[in-house]
A and B are shown apart, each in its own frame.
Chain A
């Protein structure tokens, strides 16, 4: 297992749309192990999308339990081809990102979401979540669609702060 280097803006790969996984092969499983290792290597990191380590595949790893503040969460979640199938409500919060080092910004997102995805064994899963974990998942799925939080800044008054 290795800790993978994180891409930062304005790396052009962060603007690309990641490709769905068709087959969960050995290569994909190794990539997931490395993403997990990279996630836990960074102290305050609660989520990583594959594109952040330079791989344009629709994989995210999150662990909302790593937040300094306690939130309801499902611990480590590995999602392959995640898709938001239902959402409701709005929530604004200050987000940071390993790919936008040293800055945070206020972003408005959906409060409750339901996600369909494949687990590491290729089994279809469905997750209902809300609050912080929902924000983390939306942030990571944005990466899969070529967006960083700076593309979603939407709050008056402004928005981007030094950490």
Chain B
């Protein structure tokens, strides 16, 4: 029976990280089922969901990957997945929340707490700091799932109140698939 593990690796960005790690996985006949990779503040971060179809133990795979990851200066960890959902999660009622304003501590916490209180699930979040002419502007884009029964109007009001309180701009839009 196939085993599934999550792998995370993060380290200073340089060419060759993805090829080194995926080469090791390929040699062990492991399949990359899902992945997200990005550069955060100069650090290359990768999260992979791996399917192991052979008799290879998770420990043996980890040892092999560590040999590859260590010379690259990557911090590396893994976890066996007890439950695996093969199909990608599809939002039933997806919305996009965009937030921007002066950089201050606690914006992510303030917004995510507001969503958690309304039992709204965050499905994707990206934050970035825009530096321009000595000014720092914080931008956050959240994808979330608003249960049909929940009131869009209530969330909209809650976010508007919060935006005034923490002095940022928050917009809530129904998500649409890009079709270009």
Q: Check B96–A10 contact: CB distance below 8 A.
A: no
In the complex, chain B residues whose CB is within 8 Å of the CB of A157: 124, 143
Contact residue among A93, A101, A105 (Cβ-Cβ distance under 8 Å from B130): A101
Shortest CB-to-CB span from B171 to chain A, Å, is 4
Interface string of A151-163 (1 = CB under 8 A from B): 1111111111010
Shortest CB-to-CB span from A71 to chain B, Å, is 13
From 71 to 109 in chain A, residues with beta carbon under 8 angstroms from any chain B beta carbon are 90-93, 100-103, 105-106, 108
A100 touching B173 in the complex, CB below 8 Å, given contacts A92-B179, A155-B96, A159-B141 = no
Q: Check A92–B178 contact: CB distance below 8 A.
A: yes
User: Is there a chain A Cβ closer than 8 Å to B175's Cβ?
Assistant: yes
Q: Check A15–B169 contact: CB distance below 8 A.
A: yes
State A105–B101 Cα separation when bound (angstroms).
17
User: Is there a chain A Cβ closer than 8 Å to B98's Cβ?
Assistant: yes
A103's nearest neighbour on chain B, judged by CB, is B130
Contact residue among A93, A101, A151, A159 (Cβ-Cβ distance under 8 Å from B169): A151
A160 touching B171 in the complex, CB below 8 Å, given contacts A8-B132, A153-B96, A155-B178 = no
Q: Check B98–A150 contact: CB distance below 8 A.
A: yes
A100 touching B141 in the complex, CB below 8 Å, given contacts A155-B96, A156-B91, A156-B177 = no
Contact residue among B124, B137, B173, B175 (Cβ-Cβ distance under 8 Å from A10): B137
Interface string of B164-180 (1 = CB under 8 A from A): 00001101011111111
Q: Check B173–A156 contact: CB distance below 8 A.
A: no
State A108–B177 Cα separation when bound (angstroms).
9
Q: Check A158–B178 contact: CB distance below 8 A.
A: no
State A90–B174 Cα separation when bound (angstroms).
14
Shortest CB-to-CB span from B92 to chain A, Å, is 13
Kindly state the interface size class of chain A when it binds its partner: 20 to 34
Contact residue among B96, B128, B137, B177 (Cβ-Cβ distance under 8 Å from A9): B137
Q: Check B100–A154 contact: CB distance below 8 A.
A: no
In the complex, chain A residues whose CB is within 8 Å of the CB of B133: 8
Contact residue among B100, B124, B179 (Cβ-Cβ distance under 8 Å from A150): B100
Q: Check B132–A10 contact: CB distance below 8 A.
A: no
B175's nearest neighbour on chain A, judged by CB, is A156
State A160–B178 Cα separation when bound (angstroms).
13
Q: Check B178–A106 contact: CB distance below 8 A.
A: yes
From 128 to 170 in chain B, residues with beta carbon under 8 angstroms from any chain A beta carbon are 128, 130, 132-133, 135, 137, 139, 141, 143, 168-169
State A118–B140 Cα separation when bound (angstroms).
37
From 113 to 163 in chain A, residues with beta carbon under 8 angstroms from any chain B beta carbon are 147, 150-160, 162
State A160–B128 Cα separation when bound (angstroms).
9
Contact residue among B91, B124, B137, B176 (Cβ-Cβ distance under 8 Å from A154): B176
Contact residue among A102, A158, A162 (Cβ-Cβ distance under 8 Å from B143): A158
In the complex, chain A residues whose CB is within 8 Å of the CB of B83: none
Contact residue among B126, B130, B139, B177 (Cβ-Cβ distance under 8 Å from A155): B177
Q: Check B171–A155 contact: CB distance below 8 A.
A: no
- Name 11 A/B residue pairs within 8 A (Cβ), A-sorted: A15-B169, A92-B176, A93-B180, A101-B130, A101-B132, A108-B178, A147-B171, A155-B176, A155-B177, A156-B176, A159-B96
If A10-B102, A101-B130 are given as contacts, then 9 extra A-B residue pairs at C-beta distance below 8 Å, sorted by A number, are A15-B169, A102-B130, A102-B132, A150-B171, A151-B98, A151-B171, A153-B98, A153-B141, A156-B91
